[in-house]
Amino acid sequence: MQLACDDVLLDLCDASPGRETLRVWSPETYFVVAGYTNRILDEVRVDACVARAIPLYRRTSGGGTIVQAPGCLNYSIILRIDRDPALENITSTGTYVLERIAGAVHHLTGFPIDRRGHTDLVLGGRKFSGNAQRRKSHAVLFHGTFLLDANLDIIEELLPMPSHQPEYRKGRPHREFLVNLGLDAATLTAALKEEWGATTAYGQLPLEEIRALAESRYLNHDWTYRF
C-alpha cells in the first residue's frame, strides 16, 4: 500500500498542478524492496527472507535494494517539473532535493552532511539515507529512507554485498558502511515539513485506487521477480 501510494500520488500530480506532495511514513514491520531494475537473486538473500517470513517487493523507481524496518523514516516528495529548471533532468533533480534535505538534517544535528555516490546522504563517511526517483511527463517522485534507529545487523543478514557499489564504500560490509542518524522521527518530520513548506493536509487519499494497484502490481509475483 505504501509503495502503491507513491505511484498513485505521482500520477495525480502529473495530471494536476495542484497536487505537489510531501509524504512521510515509518514501517512497522520488516520487508525488502528492490529497485526497478535490480535482479532479485543477485541482490537479496531470498532464503533468509523466507526463513524469517519477511516479504519482498519491487518498486517503480531506480536505485538499490533496501531493507525497510522499524527505526526507519521514509519520505516522498512529489513535484511538478515546471516548478524549477533544476527538476528538468535526473542529475539536477537529485542535487536540488538532496541539498535541501542535507541542509535540514545539518540544522538538526550540527554535523556536516555530505552527498556521496549518486544519491546517498552520508554522516562521517557512513550512509544514513538512500534515495531514488521516478519521472513522468510533468511530475517527478523523489523518495528515500532515513536510518534513525534501525537494526543494522538484519540488513547484513538479508542483503549480500550489492552488485554495484559507489567508490566511497570501499568494499565495506553493510554493518560498517551504514549508520543510524539518531534523530527521532517527529523531529525530522517537522524539519522536512518546514523545509518544503508543507503546511496543508493532503485530504482524502484515493484508497481504493491505491489498494487496487497494490494488489495488481506489488503483490504480483511476476512483477517482483521480473528480473
Q: Alpha-carbon distance 74 to 24, whole Å? A: 5
CATH of residue 28 = 3.30.930.10
DSSP strand pairing (139-147 vs 120-123): unpaired
Amino acid in the structure at residue 142? F
pLDDT at 113: 98
Contact 49, 56 (CB under 8 A): yes
pLDDT at 216: 98
Q: Please report the sign of the dihedral spanned by the C-alpha atoms of residue 85, residue 88, residue 93, residue 97.
A: positive
Contact 188, 108 (CB under 8 A): yes
Q: Please report the sign of the dihedral spanned by the C-alpha atoms of residue 164, residue 214, residue 93, residue 113.
A: negative
Q: Closest by alpha carbon to 126, among 174, 160, 91, 89?
A: 174
Q: If you compute the radius of gyration of the chain from its CA atoms, what whole number of angstroms results?
A: 17
pLDDT at 22: 98
115 forms beta bridges with: 121
| Alpha helical stretches, state H, the chain | 2-15, 40-43, 46-51, 90-109, 152-158, 174-177, 185-196, 207-213, 221-224
Q: Would you state the cell numbers that stand for residue 126, as one nine-digit string?
A: 557512513
pLDDT at 214: 98
pLDDT at 18: 86
Give the domain range for residue 117: 2-224
Q: Alpha-carbon distance 206 to 101, whole Å? A: 28
Regions of the chain with pLDDT less than 70: none
The model's pTM: 0.96
pLDDT at 147: 98
* Total domain count, the chain: 1
